[in-house]
Structures are given as structure tokens and as C-alpha cells.
Chains A and B, each alone.
Chain A
């Protein structure tokens, strides 16, 4: 069964510190892996997308990595800010399926405190 798991479930860090969120998936083969950020009371917003052939993608202070061999992805946040407090969701799209068959992880809730 295609699944996406994320760890940790929640995380609290001090402002200015770095952190790394993990995503493990069993979807194979897959077309792309995307990280979304969901602020409280808002819908998710796409941060990064990587195809199966890419192994890193950056968006400002956010850097996503992908290891297709171990089926793991990570999202690294550098010099965290209070506005980074949100839920981060890993989403995998299986290969050769209709575009609505994306598989969502449960998310990691990040709290950045002063």
C-alpha cells in the first residue's frame, strides 16, 4: 500500500535555529514529491517540488532533499523565524496515475518560539 510517513509529529525550536523534518514513503514508482506549508487557519501552500531524478531543491531558507534509493526526503529550514510556525506536509504523486491520486503525509507541526 502506498504510504507517506512524517517525523517528528511535532517540533518546538528557538527562533534562529535550524531544523530538519523527515518524510519516508513507500510509493514506487513516483512522479514527484512536494512539500507544502500550512499556516494555522489557512490552506496548504506548495514550497518545493522534486521529480524522482532530482535530489535537492531550495526555496529561500527552505531546502528539500530526496534520496530515491532509501525513499526518504527531508525539509531543512535555516535560521528559523516565528513565521515558520506551521504544519509541513509531504506529498507524493505516484507515477502514471491521474493527477488527483497524490498521497499526503500526516504533517509535522513546527512551533518556533522567541
Chain B
């Protein structure tokens, strides 16, 4: 059982839909992250929140909109996505410093 829970596990959406990904961490960590993982590519950092404040927006298109209402919850709101946005979206949390990232099991997103 991972300390970071993501829902849904799978999502298929059309290009005109609006959907949201949810992440919850039960580890008491200060920082939460969204990563995009595409086949055979390194993980791409999308957003970072530290104590609920966004500290990183890695040139992500505005069709991806993060929300962090508290240090335990993180959302990724999706609208008018493109087929190339199909990927595994991973949420992670950490206590900062050299401590490891703790990942959720991801949401497999398919944009049709």
C-alpha cells in the first residue's frame, strides 16, 4: 500500500472534455509534485508545491492546471487536451532535501 494515492488509475477523455486527477499523500510530507511519464522518455517534472505554494511550473501548457488546497492533496485539472498528452501522470511527495520522492501509482491518461 503506497503512502501516495492517485485516482483515477485510468482515464480516457476526448479533446473537448474537462477532467481532474487527484492525489493524496498520507506521509506528512511538505512537498508534492506532478510528473509526466511518456514511453521511453525520462520523467518530466510539471509542477511543484512546497507547503501549498507553487514553486515550480516547468513551462507546462495552460491546458494543465494544478491545485493544492492543503499539503496532503494535489489536483491536476485537464481541459482541451491533445493526443500527445496521453501518458502516465505520476504524483509524488517528499520531505525535501536528500530524502527520496514517494510516488503514487499514477493515472494512465489516454486522449482520443
Contact = CB atoms under 8 A, between A and B. Distances in A.
Interface in A18-53: 31-32, 34, 41-46, 49, 51
Task: Give the size range of B's interface with the partner.
Answer: 20 to 34
Contacts of A44: 43, 90, 101, 103
A46 B4 CA distance: 14
A90 to B, nearest CB: 10
Contacts, number: 53
Interface string B18-50: 000000000000010100000011110100100
B96 interface: yes
B42 A104 contact: yes
B92 interface: yes
Interface residues of A, number: 24
Contacts of B90: 43-44
Given A34-B100, A103-B42, 12 more contacts: A43-B2, A43-B4, A43-B103, A44-B90, A46-B100, A99-B31, A99-B94, A99-B98, A99-B99, A100-B56, A104-B43, A105-B42
A43 B5 CA distance: 10
A111 interface: no
Closest 9 CB pairs of A and B: A43-B103, A46-B100, A104-B42, A104-B43, A100-B48, A99-B96, A106-B42, A42-B105, A43-B105
